[in-house]
Amino acid sequence: MAAEAEQGGERTEEPSPKRLQDARERGQVPRSRELTNFATMIGGSAMLAAIGGLMVPSFAMPDSFKTIMKISPLHWCLEAYYGLFLEGGKLGDVLTKLIPLLIIIAVLQFITFLGLKRKNLI
């Protein structure tokens, strides 16, 4: 039975605190795939929100970020929202701000279509 436990079979006892500490020092810590996915999703969302002008207004950003901000869908949504509700505009007034958003959506949909087609999922 002891030979089975040493060869990677079913363990009958919990590891001692010293063994756990030694494993942590060697870098052998359990990692959850879900936790990694969650952290990536939260980090990516925060990055998009920051670049899109949701966290920092676009007028307060440096010029380098203003250039990058033009590819963010959040930026174009906020611009259309500001035009409609804060500036009292009509739909025709914000149409120029919605066109880049529709182009971004079309490009992302096309990329998704190609990826699914390549994997024979559609």
Blockwise average pLDDT, block size 10, the chain, 122 residues = 57 84 81 85 85 80 84 85 87 86 92 94 88
CA distance 84 to 63: 25
Look at residue 112 in the predicted model and tell me its pLDDT.
Answer: 95
Closest CA to 78 of 106, 107, 48: 48
Give me the residue spans of the domains in the chain.
17-118
